[in-house]
Amino acid sequence: MEQVTEELSDTDVKLKRRKRIIWIIERFIWIVVGVFIIFGIIFVPGFKNWLNFRNILLHSSILGVLAIGESLCLLTGNFDLSIGSILAFAGILGALIAKWKIPSLITIIIMLFIGLGAGFLNGILIRKIKLNAFVATLITMLAWRGTAMGIVGGRTIWDLPEGLRLLGSGTIKGFPIQILIMLSLFVFFHIALTQTKFGRHIYIVGDNEVAAYNSGINTDKVIIIVFTISGTLSAFAGLLMIGRLNAASPTYGSDILFDAMSAAIIGGISLHGGIGNLLMALGGVILLSIISNMLNLYGVSPYWATTVRALLLLIAVLLDTIKRRLVRYE
């Protein structure tokens, strides 16, 4: 009897240890963000002033909007390669429509519907045509980028109307509107993921799609909606970008795809689906922006940020593997 009690006690200790490790891993990203902030305050000249923190958040805003959409796709066990191209395509069409003196509100609505349609197409290609997510979104990535290039011949459209620039460059008492938008979107979608039936379905589909289907969940519908949301957010990010820069170019967003994906994965969104949350993904976004900011203040080439990102990605993937093993044996 005493031996059984001791075995149960050992099991309880191991279980508590696993839970403690999982708790640390789930919050690892904010621990790293905190370490980098402390390091910056102590060792990086010019890092600790309010204007610099504002710039970090401003740099995070467009990336953050894209990371939300990418995170949703990753949570279902998929990914979206077309987000940067949808951003550019929607931005180009929005700028052209604005040049025709169409009211800015209507232009914005059209841009969002462009993103919605592009995302819906991704979902249909993946779930109804049965293309692999990589192949489907690679096709649309090339298609939207090429179309944007072809429409304007590779040139940039300048001097956009004020109404189209408001969300991207406007401020409220000196605080950029797009930062508020980005943070609001993270909170909204975090609540949607954790407090709604559809949010739970996303996690279930990502964890085990076959089991989700057998339990009565319309897996096709869930994944199509997720890709539609991703496309819409990509177009919205395009609106923010052309508003901030007062210009639209078919090259916009060409490098941002892997930043968005890196931010989500570094933030703890599992590549295998079903694990992670958006508040951690927000930490990934802010961490990447802090790293770029520090390198800039130090006068170091921004290309080194790619190396740092690769190391962080490796650590994130290893932690995800450890976490999955701990959860499996919990």
- Domain membership of residue 289 (yes or no) is no
Query: Alpha-carbon distance 120 to 170, whole Å?
Result: 30
- Domain membership of residue 321 (yes or no) is no
* Domains of the chain: total: 1
Query: Alpha-carbon distance 282 to 264, whole Å?
Result: 8
Residues 6 or more apart whose Cβ sits within 8 Å of residue 62: 178, 182, 237, 240, 241, 244, 256
Give the chain's mean pLDDT.
Answer: 92
Higher pLDDT, 7 or 101: 101
- Domain membership of residue 247 (yes or no) is yes
- Domain membership of residue 45 (yes or no) is no
Could you tell me the two tokens for 113? 């519907």
- Domain membership of residue 126 (yes or no) is yes
- Domain membership of residue 259 (yes or no) is no
On whether the CB atoms of residues 70 and 79 are closer than 8 A, the answer is yes
Structural domain that includes position 193:
59-254
Query: What is the per-residue pLDDT across 223-282, written as a single tens digit (0 to 9) for each?
Result: 999 999 999 999 999 999 999 999 999 999 998 999 999 999 999 898 889 989 999 999
According to the model, what pLDDT value does residue 321 have?
83
According to the model, what pLDDT value does residue 15 have?
66
